[in-house]
Structure 1
């Protein structure tokens, strides 16, 4: 039984690393896969806690750039505006996530059909935005004005409905607010750091009395798998979307959503 849980955690960790930073909803994929695998995590904490592996993946890939921004803060107005922009974009999700945490975890996370529907709707929206001939105003994340960052943060709040996708919501929001495809994905990376770290800490505190030593190997397995796979995805995603856009991910969402909905209707 323990070996099955470790095997499930390994598979789900790989899935988390693969899907966290592409606009297909990692949480939606994890919850659907866990549903069909029969995988039950304590307090639904596994799906949130293994995201720390994905956070560390961004930090490892962007470490030198983050260090440069940190050193430039005292003297570079663009660096200060960028850091402030990320914090401004983070605030809406921090407030709404804290207020609605129990409803999200106990109701929305337990509704697989809703996840499938949101995957399908999000795929349609992503395909529409990707094909829309938008004229970008911003090609560098260092140039995003604060009102644009706030707007992206409000879009991110949509991702509290599992199946929507945090990266998908922020990427679509960024593009609609004037960013090009590459900078939209890159800002989503940076915004993920405080957002996912905040969710990790908050969920850990909420579930600290429920988690036991037996949960540690399962969470650790998912964490390591998520980190390794996410590093690979982060390194290659920006170049891919610069050349090919987001259509592949839109179709991915549509296929997973339709197949998942059909499976739920057929087998529950």
Structure 2
């Protein structure tokens, strides 16, 4: 598919950006364009290596997931509420994703779409951060089904590369009265079924076109993104707790602006 250094660099990009509100897919597309990474399997690579970062959530929050699993067996109300909220938030992207799959895959080939979405998304974060009121929800179990479903609907905006799945989820949660830390953690939990489903469906549609080199690249990218994401998640929660999401908004605007200028000259 491509050389080892490029694969490792893309794995690092994925691990760093997956849970930040800056769009990991968008960064992979821009990095791929910069590194000359483009073939028939690159779109699948950009989607599937995200599973490495998702695995880091399962590892870091294994006790939380285990407690929910055990609690479901005991019919614990908190475990039921957690599962209900994640399932409801996942549902819209599962349904709409199947409908617009081909359109989304086509947009993965447009770096300019990513660059513009980065800038627009950054501005949106700045606006939402100014308008957000005192939170009413301080943990995932406390969310109502309407809030969870609303977050899931807003997450669908992230099907446009550059919007950011975590960014849409977090900003949607803030707008619906969820506090920053809970919004960030809910985006982690929601990423698990969302990216598992997206990766499984993409592999189902494109497995035959990947080839042995492609599978090796995916495996390496998976491992690298997993290790890097393990280091990033705790750091991200610390930044969010102390400074909010404004630093990431300005990063998006600057990075997107630079990308627009660069792409315009190609």
Offset from partner CA, 1:188-247 (integer Å, 9 cap, x none): 000000000001100110111111111122111211110001111112222221111011
Corresponding residue for residue 4 of structure 2: 6
Structural mapping, 1:154-233, within 5 Å: 154-233=153-232
Mapped to 2, the partners of 1:182 and 1:130 lie a distance apart of 14
Q: Secondary structure at the match of 1:213?
A: helix
TM-score, length-scaled by structure 1: 0.95
Corresponding residue for residue 144 of structure 1: 143
CA, structure 1 residues 133+177, in 2 after alignment: closer, same or farther (shift >3 Å)? closer
1:6 CA displacement:
1.5
- The 10-residue stretch of structure 1 (195-204 or 239-248) with the greater mean CA deviation from structure 2: 239-248
Question: Contact 1:61 / 1:235 at 8 angstroms: preserved in 2?
Answer: no
- The 10-residue stretch of structure 1 (182-191 or 231-240) with the greater mean CA deviation from structure 2: 231-240
1:89 aligns to 2:122 (yes or no): no
TM-score, length-scaled by structure 2: 0.96
Q: Which runs of 5+ in 2 are unaligned?
A: none
Mapped to 2, the partners of 1:260 and 1:126 lie a distance apart of 19
Q: Which runs of 5+ in 1 are unaligned?
A: none
Mapped to 2, the partners of 1:194 and 1:75 lie a distance apart of 21
1:149 CA displacement:
0.4
Offset from partner CA, 1:133-192 (integer Å, 9 cap, x none): 511110111101111000000010000000000000000000000001111101000000
Question: Contact 2:85 / 2:140 at 8 angstroms: preserved in 1?
Answer: no
Structural mapping, 1:40-59, within 5 Å: 40-43=38-41, 44-59=43-58
Mapped to 1, the partners of 2:40 and 2:196 lie a distance apart of 19
Corresponding residue for residue 18 of structure 1: 16
Two-structure CA RMSD over aligned residues (Å): 1.2
Mapped to 2, the partners of 1:133 and 1:215 lie a distance apart of 44
Mapped to 2, the partners of 1:87 and 1:75 lie a distance apart of 16
Corresponding residue for residue 80 of structure 1: 80
Mapped to 2, the partners of 1:60 and 1:236 lie a distance apart of 16
1:75 CA displacement:
3.2
Question: Contact 2:132 / 2:175 at 8 angstroms: preserved in 1?
Answer: no
Mapped to 2, the partners of 1:180 and 1:49 lie a distance apart of 30
